[in-house]
């Protein structure tokens, strides 16, 4: 199939954005179903949390594997196979009765979803050329809208059906994407490579990780993501099991936290040009330390749901600020290898997130204290990173503004 020039351009961007939304929907839609899944499979809810880590691990692995594969087999075939695989695994998840198989299938679901999503930036670059940032901004907007709506959609499905219906809905969503993707997704000619793509990819990986200028920013991005996925993994248990909120109220509370994350990104877009990413990192760290410390104190003192919520909201905003500014500074360090740098960021982000579930499962106490402690330690690690590698030092010159 050719480039399909007759395809309405806005519809094609909407299709690409919808493919990108597969992962946030798969992560966030089933959060309200954690208690129901635990009851259905006669297991502890802490083990259900591990399924989120298995998804994150699968997605991180898919980024490593399918990025180079897209350059070899083409982006359109990989997207179609990825969506088809995601649909089939989602159907299989509707019938699973064993938690081990649930973990395995969630990993496979993530790898299939990652295969579909990894092709999107390449297609956007093909469509927009030198204006790629404009196209990616449209696609990125979905990444904020999807987690905002997904828990409420999951709660709505749970109101009428049981937990399995969430995965049925994800299968239907993938099918609805596969049909227009088959007709309208353009193919992009692949380039011949000199040497093994496997060797070239990991050589670039070592080059990025070995850059001393970028190392503190890579660490900050990883720890911020670790804290974010800690929130994502623990919050269904904290809100619904510990504080006893309903599935419907959980969706609203989750949306409030996502709105605070969006507010932080909006604030950053307005002031970062004037203040610079270095200063935004310092300010967001200060807010994060106060919010995370307050969150831990509030739960040690058992001050309740709304005190916890008031601490989480500024904490989420600060994590968003830290991640976006650290990522920008990483990309500045690699003007000719931004694709590799992006792959490193994504792999470490989801890879570190995969560690959260086992940690929370091992420390599960029936209270919110393990969650609050994890958040505080993650933000503290960002502070230690800034102390060990001062972002304003001479080694960081050229990073004053983004």
Domain with residue 89: its CATH number is 1.20.1250.20
What mean pLDDT value characterizes the chain? Answer: 78
Are both 213 and 361 inside the same structural domain? Answer: yes
* Range of the structural domain that residue 214 is part of: 196-402
Whether residues 211 and 310 fall in one domain? yes
Residue 191 belongs to a domain: no
Of 198, 14, 176, 16, nearest to 84 by C-alpha is: 176
Q: Tell me: the pLDDT tens digits for 349-376?
A: 777 777 777 787 777 777 788 888 888 9
pLDDT of residue 15: 83
Whether residue 129 is found in the same domain as residue 209 = no
Residue 80: CB partners within 8 Å, gap ≥ 6?
178, 181, 182, 185
Among 186, 216, 238, identify where a domain stops: 186
Confidence class for position 137, pLDDT limits 50, 70, 90: low
Q: Tell me the C-alpha distance between 399 and 402, whole Å.
A: 7
Dihedral, CA atoms, 260, 262, 265, 266, nearest 10 degrees? -100
Whether 5 and 121 map to the same domain: the answer is yes
Note the pTM of the prediction, 2 decimals. 0.68
State which of 186, 206, 232 marks the end of a domain: 186
Our CA angle for 291, 59, 250, nearest 5°, is 45
Confidence (pLDDT) at 241: 79
The domain total for the chain is: 2
* Residues 171 and 302 occupy one common structural domain: no
User: Which candidate, 250, 372, 375, 384, places its Cα nearest to that of 319?
Assistant: 375
Closest C-alpha among 31, 48, 30 to residue 39: 48
Residue 193 above 60 pLDDT? Answer: no
8 A C-beta contact, residue 79 and residue 119: yes
Angle (CA) 240-244-249 rounded to 5° is 65
pLDDT at 71: 61
- CA atoms in the 13 A half-sphere facing the CB of 175: 11
Instruction: Based on the fold, state whether residues 158 and 234 are members of the same structural domain.
Output: no
């Amino acid at each position: 199939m050719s480039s399909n020039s007759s395809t309405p351009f806005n519809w094609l961007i909407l299709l690409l954005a919808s493919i990108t939304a597969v992962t946030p929907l798969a992560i966030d839609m089933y959060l309200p179903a954690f208690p129901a899944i635990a009851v259905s499979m006669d297991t502890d809810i802490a083990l259900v949390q591990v399924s989120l880590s298995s998804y994150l691990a699968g997605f991180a692995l898919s980024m490593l594997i399918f990025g180079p594969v897209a350059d070899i087999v083409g982006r359109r075939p990989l997207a179609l196979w990825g969506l088809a695989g995601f649909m089939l695994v989602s159907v299989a998840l509707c019938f699973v009765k064993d938690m081990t198989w649930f973990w395995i299938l969630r990993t496979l679901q993530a790898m299939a979803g990652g295969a579909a999503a990894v092709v999107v930036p390449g297609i956007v670059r093909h469509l927009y050329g030198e204006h790629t940032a404009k196209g990616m901004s449209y696609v990125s907007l979905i990444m904020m809208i999807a987690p905002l709506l997904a828990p409420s959609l999951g709660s709505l499905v749970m109101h009428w059906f049981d937990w399995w219906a969430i995965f049925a809905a994800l299968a239907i969503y993938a099918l609805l994407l596969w049909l227009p993707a088959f007709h309208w997704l353009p193919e992009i000619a692949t380039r011949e490579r000199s040497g093994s793509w496997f060797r070239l990819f990991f050589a670039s990986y070592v080059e990025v990780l070995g850059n001393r200028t970028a190392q503190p920013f890579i660490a900050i991005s990883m720890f911020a993501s670790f804290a974010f996925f800690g929130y994502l993994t623990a919050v269904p248990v904290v809100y619904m099991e510990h504080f006893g909120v309903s599935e419907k109220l959980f969706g609203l509370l989750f949306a409030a936290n996502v709105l605070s994350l969006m507010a932080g990104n909006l604030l950053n877009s307005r002031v970062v040009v004037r203040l610079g990413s270095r200063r935004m990192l310092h300010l967001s760290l200060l807010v994060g330390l106060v919010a995370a410390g307050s969150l831990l104190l509030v739960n040690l003192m058992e001050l309740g749901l709304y005190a916890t919520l008031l601490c989480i909201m500024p904490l989420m905003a600060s994590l968003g600020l830290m991640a976006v500014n650290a990522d920008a500074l990483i990309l500045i360090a690699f003007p000719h290898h931004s694709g590799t740098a992006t792959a490193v960021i994504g792999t470490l982000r989801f890879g570190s997130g995969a560690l959260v579930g086992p940690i929370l499962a091992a420390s599960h106490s029936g209270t919110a204290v393990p969650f609050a402690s994890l958040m505080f330690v993650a933000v503290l690690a960002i502070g230690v990173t800034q102390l060990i590698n001062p972002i304003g030092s001479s080694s960081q010159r050229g990073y004053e503004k983004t």
